Amino acid sequence: MKTIAIDFETANEQRGSACSVGLAWIEEGRVTRVEERLIRPRDMRFSGMNIAIHGIRPEHVEDAPEFPEVMDEFHDDIRGATMIAHNAAFDFSVWRASLDLYRQSYPELTYLCSLKMAQRIWPHFLSHRLNLIAEHLGLRFMHHNAAEDAAVCAAAAIEMAKAVKARAVEAIPALIGMTRRGG
């Protein structure tokens, strides 16, 4: 079964303003591939707050492809995959809003939220934010870089699988009383 961690960054407060996507593939208990693509939002409005968070400016994406073309590259990888995101409610709302904006259908996949899983597996942590989980696991990364966020999400999910003795990341929900969601 394919498992891919995903992270989006947005240009502004609109969920359909994806300006970057990061993906990290998990195979046999390790991260085997990490990719990042810049995305030119349909509406090139970037908020100062979002730029301050991720550092992506309009000039960085002016020559980048738009959402459909970027995600098309990963279509075969994503089809039928178990996707995982840290705070999946945000990342999958960005994905759905972007698909809706371009009138595209939703891909066939299931997804997990590594934030919700971490809250159940490590309830003693004071916070379950990605940067604090990374610190606990001894991982260094540039937070709010889509590729690095996806890679740390994937690495954290692998550690969660070990913590609950799951044979693979996609088996975690059954062991902790959660369900996988359809996308």
**Residue 158, domain extent:** 3-182
- The number of folded domains in the chain is 1
Assign 144 to helix, strand or coil.
Answer: coil
Distance, CA of 105 to chain centre? 19
Amino acid making up residue 38: L
pLDDT in tens, the chain (183 residues): 799 999 999 999 999 999 999 999 999 999 999 999 999 999 999 999 999 999 999 999 999 999 999 999 999 999 999 999 999 999 999 999 999 999 999 998 899 999 999 999 999 999 999 999 999 999 988 899 999 999 999 999 999 999 999 999 999 999 999 987 765
